[in-house]
Every structure is written in structure tokens, then in C-alpha cells.
Structure 1
Amino acid sequence: MTDGLETEIEGMDDIAERRDELATRVRTHAGEIARELAVLQGGDYGQETFNTDGGSWTLKYEAGDVQYLKFDPKSGSETYVVSSKQPPEPAALERALDDYGAFVAAYNEYVRSFDGILEDVPDEFPAVESTAELVAERDRIVDRIRDVGNAIASQLHRYDGEYGTYATTVSGTRWELKWDGDVVSYLRVGGSDGIYLLSQYGPPPAPEVRRLAEDVPAFVAAFNEYVEDLEADLETIEFDD
């Protein structure tokens, strides 16, 4: 009754070692394909599927290295030949490696399909027009508007305090100036979603400057009327000592 207990148990170490050796070699080889795909596709990550007579192979790559290589045979279960988890079963790996050469051939054919694809693409293009003069003129006009804004900010600072906002309507559109000390913080036209004619982030597009600059004199005139009304109100104040 003890014969079975004395029977020697066959070890799996050699099979596991061979499996791990093959899996490492496949990972290294598939990693080369992953890097080539990343270069070809122009991205750090992606995946491609290649069909063979035996099934389909899907290679996913990231940062130029293989993330997984999956073999989906036409019959039987799929096998992750390369993955971030445990290596495949020896029998599944053997079945997949029987088709691995066909996978590489399919990849090579895929690359060869791009031969000559860029031969007729032109590499000479029209000259690019410079925006230097337009930008210089835009900046000159904006600088003039900023001078006006700073002058208004200085008067508002003197009368209304260290910082605040002044708003009026010009041609049916709201204009709002915010000041901080003697400096204009912004001049916005059109409400909260409007155009910042002046701001700390840079000038608006030239077409907007062209459209709005014509109303700057009216904005200044409205401010001057605001100041005149304030002066008139102050003149009515009497103080008896």
C-alpha cells in the first residue's frame, strides 16, 4: 500500500526554466517591434493587430516598449505571450510560438506597405507672410490706448481709492476699466465674456483692435462727463464751521 508514496515525483523546474527563457526572448524581440511601431506612428503609445493564417496577434506598446503581445488563434483560447502578469502556460506558449514567425512576417509586410508613400509629397512650400508690420501697428495703437487707460486710472485712484472699476456704455456696449493704483489692470469691452482691449496677458487680435479703437474717444468722453458730474455734485456741498 505504500508503493505510491515511494514513487519519484517528476520535477517541473526544467520546463518552467525553458518557458521563462523563451518568454524573455520573445519579450526582447517583440520590444524591438514595439519601438519600430512607436517610431512609425509618431506616438509614445498605441497598438496594432496583425493577421496570420493561424490567427491574429495584437501588440500594445507604450513609451517604446511592449506592454503586451496577445495571440488569438483561429481555434482555442487566446494567449498573452507577453504581459505584465505571469508568463503563459508552457503548452499555450508552444502553440503561440509555432505561429510567431508568421506574426513577424506580417509585421514586416505591414512596414513594407509604406514603401514609397512619401516620394511624391512636396517638400517645398510657399513663403510665409510676415506679421511684423501688423503686430507693430497693433502694439502702437494698444500702447496709446494704455496711456489713456493709465490716465483714467490715475484720476480714479485719486478720487475713488486704491483700486476699483469704472463702467459705462458706449454705442450700446458695456466698457469696464479696472484700476490698481495709477495703473489700468484691464479695459474690457462687452461684459464678462467680452474682449480685453487692455490686460496683463497681452494685446487682443488686430481685428478686434481695429473694431474697438474707434470707440475709445467716446469712452474717454463718457469718463470726462462722469468727472464733470462729480465736480458739479461737489460744488453743491456747503460746510459751515
Structure 2
Amino acid sequence: MTEGLEAAIDGVGDVTAARDDVVQRVRSHAGQIARELAVLQGGDYGQETFDTDRGKWTLKYEAGDIQYLRYKPRSGSETYVISTKQPPEPEPLATAMADYGAFVEAYNDHVASFDGVLEDVPTEFPEPTSTESLVAERDRIVGRIRDVANAMAGQLHRYDGDYGTYSTTVSGTRWELKWDGDVASYVRVGGEGGTYLVSQYGPPPAPEVRRYADEVAGFVEAFNEYVDDLEADLSTVSLAENGSQAD
């Protein structure tokens, strides 16, 4: 009953060592192809498939390094010669390696297909028009809007606290000024996702300045009416003197 247990068991060390050696060599060689493809295609991520007489090879790379090399023969199951998981079994690996040279030739043909593709491509271009004067005028107008907004912020700071927002509607569009101390943090037109005519970041595009610049006066007029209404309300408040006399 125990005769089978006494039989020698063949080790697989030589086979797996040979398999691992082949995989390592392919990883190094195909890794070079992956890097060349990344340079050719202009990105760190991608994949390319190459057809041979015996099958189809797909190489995927990420960050310029090979992720997997998959071989799909004309008949039979596909084999991941290189992968991030387990190594292939020796027999499917041997089948794939019999076609590896054809894969490299297919890659070389792929690269050669780009020969001359950039010949006669023009490299002389029209001179770009300078935006210097446009930007200077945009900045001048935005600077004036900022001056007005800061003046409004100073008044709001005086009678309405250290920070807050003032909003109104001009020509059917919401305008909002946020102040922090006596400085305008922003002037936004159009609510959330609208245009910031004044902000702590960059200036708005010139077309947006053109669109809203004529309405700044209406914004200021609405603010002045708001202040006048406050003053009128305060003028109606009287403080009656109340007191009591001791007996």
C-alpha cells in the first residue's frame, strides 16, 4: 500500500528556471519595444497589435514600461508571455516563442511604415499677432472696475461689517460683490459659474470685459440706491428718552 509513496518525485526546478530565464529575456527585449512605441505614439500609455502568419501579438505599455505581451495563435488559447501576474506555462510559452521573431519583424515593419511621413511638411508659419495692446487695454478697464469695487467695499466695510457680500440685479443678471475689509475680494456676474470681473486670480477674458463693462455703471447706481435707502430708513428712527425717578 505504501509502494507509491516511496517512489521518487521528479522536480520541476530546471523547467521553471529555464522558463523564468526566457521570460526575463523577453521582458527586457519587448520592454525596449514598448519604450520605442511610447516615443513613437507620443504618450506614456497605450497598446499596439501586430499580426504574423501564425497569430497575433498585443503589447500594452504604461508609463513607458511593458505591462503585458499577449500571444493569440491562429488556433488555440492565448498566452500572456509577459504579464503582471503569474508567468506562462512552459508549453504555451514555447509555442509563442516559435513566433516571437515574426513579432519583432512585424514591429519593425510598423516603424518602417512611417518612413517619409513627415517629408514636405511645412515648418514656416505666419507670425502670430501680438495681444500686447489688447491685454493692456483689458487690464486698464479691469483696473478701473477694481477701483470702483474697492470703493464700494470700503463703504460696505464701514457700515456692514468686516466682510460679506452685496448683490443686486442689473439688466436681468445677478451681480455680486464680496468684500474683505475695505477691499473687494471679487465682483462676479451671472451667479455660480459666472464671470469674475474682479478676483484674486487672473483677469477675465477680453470678450467678457467687453460684454459687461457697460453695465458696471448700472451696478454702481444700484449700490448707490441701496445706500440711499439705508440712510432713509435710518432717518426715520428716533430714540425716545425713557427714564424713571426714584421716590
State the shift of 1:127 in Å: 1.0
Q: Compared with structure 1, are the counterparts of its residues 150 and 74 closer, same or farther at alpha carbon in structure 2 (3 Å cutoff)?
A: same
Q: Are 2:142 and 1:137 equivalent residues in the alignment?
A: no
Q: Give the Cα–Cα distance (whole angstroms) in 1 for the partners of residues 232 and 6 of structure 2.
A: 118
Report what 1:71 is aligned to: 71
Report what 2:186 is aligned to: 186
State the shift of 1:223 in Å: 1.9
Residues 17-36 of structure 1: pairs in structure 2 closer than 5 A = 17-36=17-36
Report what 1:219 is aligned to: 219
Q: Give the Cα–Cα distance (whole angstroms) in 2 for the partners of residues 229 and 184 of structure 1.
A: 22
Report what 1:151 is aligned to: 151
Q: Compared with structure 1, are the counterparts of its residues 204 and 2 closer, same or farther at alpha carbon in structure 2 (3 Å cutoff)?
A: closer
Q: Give the Cα–Cα distance (whole angstroms) in 2 for the partners of residues 122 and 101 of structure 1.
A: 38
Report what 1:87 is aligned to: 87
Report what 1:122 is aligned to: 122
CA RMSD between the two structures: 2.2
Report what 1:16 is aligned to: 16
Q: Compared with structure 1, are the counterparts of its residues 12 and 238 closer, same or farther at alpha carbon in structure 2 (3 Å cutoff)?
A: closer
Q: Give the Cα–Cα distance (whole angstroms) in 2 for the partners of residues 53 and 165 of structure 1.
A: 72
State the shift of 1:112 in Å: 0.5
Report what 1:201 is aligned to: 201
Aligned length: 241
Identity of aligned residues (%): 72
Q: Give the Cα–Cα distance (whole angstroms) in 1 for the partners of residues 66 and 155 of structure 2.
A: 67
Q: Compared with structure 1, are the counterparts of its residues 5 and 174 closer, same or farther at alpha carbon in structure 2 (3 Å cutoff)?
A: closer
State the shift of 1:191 in Å: 2.8
Q: Compared with structure 1, are the counterparts of its residues 232 and 65 closer, same or farther at alpha carbon in structure 2 (3 Å cutoff)?
A: closer
- Structure 2 residue runs without a partner (length 5+): 242-247
Counterpart amino acid of residue 125 in structure 1? F
State the shift of 1:10 in Å: 4.5
Query: What does the per-residue CA deviation read over 1:152-193, in whole Å, with 9 as the maximum and x for residues that have no partner?
Result: 111111111212222223223232222121111221222334
Counterpart amino acid of residue 133 in structure 1? S
Q: Give the Cα–Cα distance (whole angstroms) in 1 for the partners of residues 23 and 30 of structure 2.
A: 10
Q: Give the Cα–Cα distance (whole angstroms) in 1 for the partners of residues 83 and 219 of structure 2.
A: 68
Q: Give the Cα–Cα distance (whole angstroms) in 2 for the partners of residues 91 and 166 of structure 1.
A: 77
2:98 counterpart SS class: helix
Counterpart amino acid of residue 26 in structure 1? V
State the shift of 1:5 in Å: 7.3
Task: With the length of structure 2 as denominator, give the TM-score of the two structures.
Answer: 0.88
